[in-house]
Structure 1
């Protein structure tokens, strides 16, 4: 059997990604998972030394369709992007799977296809379709029993028991924090590994979530959103096991990209922005260019 250990990440499969994610969630220190929406942003997350990444549904919708996070994107489009991202980096990835994209049978397919694509954690929420960003108004949620069915279907569908199922509830905004916590507890009883109470509106509510729930919890850090954005050490002290930063990179790229384009438009050159850009070689090396070249040479005619 050929030894593929020296292949670029895009040409090898790491079968222990699920196990690594589950182990990281059991550690006493909080797991930070920055958002990514394509292979470039995933590479940046991995190369920065983070132990996991978060495939952001809103970021994928914006980058793939030019559309906001309003349920416009299809499962096929999310799956294609998730597969490419998972094949490009060697860190575990959590994928935002919205509502599961249909009824129980659709959700079973969603879990199985994402697991085959190389995703190690799948997030499912209790919104009604079409879903919306968890920090925007107008969200509608399904009844608790329907979401319990979604979680049970997801748990039953996974092939590897180490695949992490994350249950998100958006009940805080419409039903209050106590009701949201009650829902999260029901989802844990249904088999969810991690609980995600979306958009708590104060540090006191964040503390209440962690005092009330025994399962690992997720904090969603959205700059300018409904929830206080706290340092990871403070989130860890509150009791969170996982923190995601869905669109931090997206916002930075939008801001810096706009600034660079203004420099180019006004001066006719990018020199004024050069110190804030990687050079040609740096960009190519981000994608393991020397390794790809060595592999090409190994099998090319001489």
Structure 2
């Protein structure tokens, strides 16, 4: 990792993502809500970073109903991608508009340094995948959306994932049929939202012969399965999209309420990340070394100041 950005070129990150999907090792991608969280995900030893649309919208104080823009998503996602040497997969919702918009989305996310994105088959405006009341577009509409996205890909290593929300609307068999059609249209990875339990994940795996991504989000429609369970049934990747945000916001709320009630944060210190740990994560010492190495020159020119 360099001081100011990732030391790994974008194409190499994309190759690493593809290699991980075919490695036989479950790829674990916790969701990040800031570049600092991305750094911690990398330090702990996960295989990649996930950037959730729900997290980005929540961090902007908005519900996850398609209100964020491509510009916002690319900027925030790019900052999280550049913060580590890991590949980052980002949620691109429905492509932010019509098929031509989906094509532009792929080009923009490539430029931002993401390793891949997923596009879903919901109608516009979309809804959180674990809420009721969502709807999906006809299969042919999603195939057009995917075709546009695939055609816009300039780096062949950039991963395009197709997400289907059909399980909760049309049933499991329809979701499987959609996944097969999406793979035939060029999707490198399939993400099926809101599968109920291990049996459904296993049935989906047996029916679809492409890499599969599982979503282990809390408080939703899916049973929370372990990494070992997902690995054993043959899944290739798992995301924990909102977990870090929920952990952080829970701690923030408890802390603020304690300050409000007691008038001090002194009782919260043991649960805080220490200043020294933050500086370690940010590599303060390396920045100091860089600054010292760069600005050690002297000059004899009169009137020139350091």
TM category, shorter: over 0.9
Match for 1:34 among 26, 30, 36? 30
Deviations 1:228-262 (A, max 9, x none): 11000001112211100000111111111112222
Per the alignment, residue 3 of structure 1 pairs with: none
Per the alignment, residue 107 of structure 1 pairs with: 102
Query: Alignment length, in residue pairs?
Result: 296
Match for 1:267 among 262, 265, 268? 262
Deviations 1:127-179 (A, max 9, x none): 11111110001112111011111222222211221111110001111100100
Shift of 1:293: 2.1
Match for 2:63 among 56, 63, 68? 68
Per the alignment, residue 182 of structure 1 pairs with: 177
Matched, 1:118 2:127: no
Structure-1 separation of matches of 2:280 and 2:135: 45
Per the alignment, residue 47 of structure 1 pairs with: 43
Q: What secondary structure does 1:244 align onto? A: strand
Q: What secondary structure does 1:10 align onto? A: coil
Q: What secondary structure does 1:233 align onto? A: helix
Match for 1:199 among 194, 197, 200? 194
Shift of 1:12: 4.3
Q: What secondary structure does 2:31 align onto? A: strand
Q: What secondary structure does 2:41 align onto? A: helix
Shift of 1:184: 0.6
Provide the alpha-carbon RMSD of the alignment.
Answer: 1.5
Q: Does the aligned pair in 2 maintain the 1:124–1:167 contact within 8 Å?
A: yes
Deviations 1:81-130 (A, max 9, x none): 01211121111000000011112221111101101111001100001111
Deviations 1:243-282 (A, max 9, x none): 0000011111111111222232233332222221121121
Matched, 1:250 2:245: yes
Q: Does the aligned pair in 2 maintain the 1:98–1:123 contact within 8 Å?
A: yes
Per the alignment, residue 23 of structure 1 pairs with: 19
Match for 2:165 among 148, 166, 170? 170
Structure-2 separation of matches of 1:268 and 1:300: 44
Structure-2 separation of matches of 1:194 and 1:34: 17
Q: Does the aligned pair in 2 maintain the 1:38–1:60 contact within 8 Å?
A: no
More off after superposition, 13-22 vs 48-57: 13-22
> Unaligned regions of 5+ residues in structure 2, if any?
298-306
Per the alignment, residue 205 of structure 2 pairs with: 210
Structure-2 separation of matches of 1:165 and 1:241: 15
> Unaligned regions of 5+ residues in structure 1, if any?
1-5
Structure-2 separation of matches of 1:184 and 1:142: 14
Shift of 1:11: 6.3
Structure-2 separation of matches of 1:237 and 1:200: 17
Q: What secondary structure does 1:36 align onto? A: coil
- Pick closer, same or farther for the CA change 1:284–1:199 going to 2, 3 Å: same
Match for 1:7 among 2, 6, 9? 2
Structure-2 separation of matches of 1:107 and 1:66: 25
Structure-2 separation of matches of 1:115 and 1:127: 23
Structure-2 separation of matches of 1:75 and 1:292: 32
